[in-house]
Amino acid sequence: MARTRTALRKIAAKGKTKKTKRSAPGGSRPTAKHYRQKGAPSRRAKAVLRHIPWTTVELETLNPLLQRQFVVGQNIMVARVLIKKGCIIPEHSHMNEQVTYILEGALKFWIDGKEIVVGAGEVLTIPPNMPHRAEAIEDTVDLDVFNPPRADWMNKDDSYLRMK
């Protein structure tokens, strides 16, 4: 049975239905204090907000041509990697998804049967468990993002990078 607007207003006035929030005037943003992505868990371990200048993060020398710094969040890791021209990152794979963003210089990757040169301002996405290796064809500053964080790096169990 169809209800009239007047009947619906009366029901709402008696508290029998919940009022819904409407968009803010002139826009589509909800009036709620905070937007939560659909499907995002409503409860999880509390993450800690941190502001970290790279100058305060340990610069770890892995070999004469390779240095790195990294910061670990709750579910993600970002690494600043300094690679001298001629440095070779041996073939390896890991369970982590990787996004590599070259800030300066260039790296040549051998991955998935292809040679790919990634230069300054370019990004390469590497799926989990995909074998890859790289060579610095210029002095390079690279930001690598990993999800989940690389346990082998945090535990210094990454001997393939520590070869002299």
Own/partner contacts of 55-59, CB < 8 Å, gap of 24 or more, are none
Distance CA 127, CA 112 (A): 10
Do 107 and 118 form a contact (C-beta atoms < 8 A)? yes
Q: Can you tell me which residue has the tokens 């790279």? A: 54
pLDDT of residue 17: 47
Do 139 and 90 form a contact (C-beta atoms < 8 A)? no
pLDDT of residue 89: 96
Digit-by-digit pLDDT tens for the chain (164 residues) are 555 666 656 655 665 544 445 545 555 555 556 565 565 566 667 788 999 999 999 999 999 999 999 999 999 999 999 999 999 999 999 999 999 999 999 999 999 999 999 999 999 999 999 999 999 999 999 999 999 999 999 999 988 898 76
pTM for this structure?
0.73
Name the fold adopted by 54-161: Jelly Rolls (2.60.120)
pLDDT of residue 107: 98
Amino acid type, 35: Y
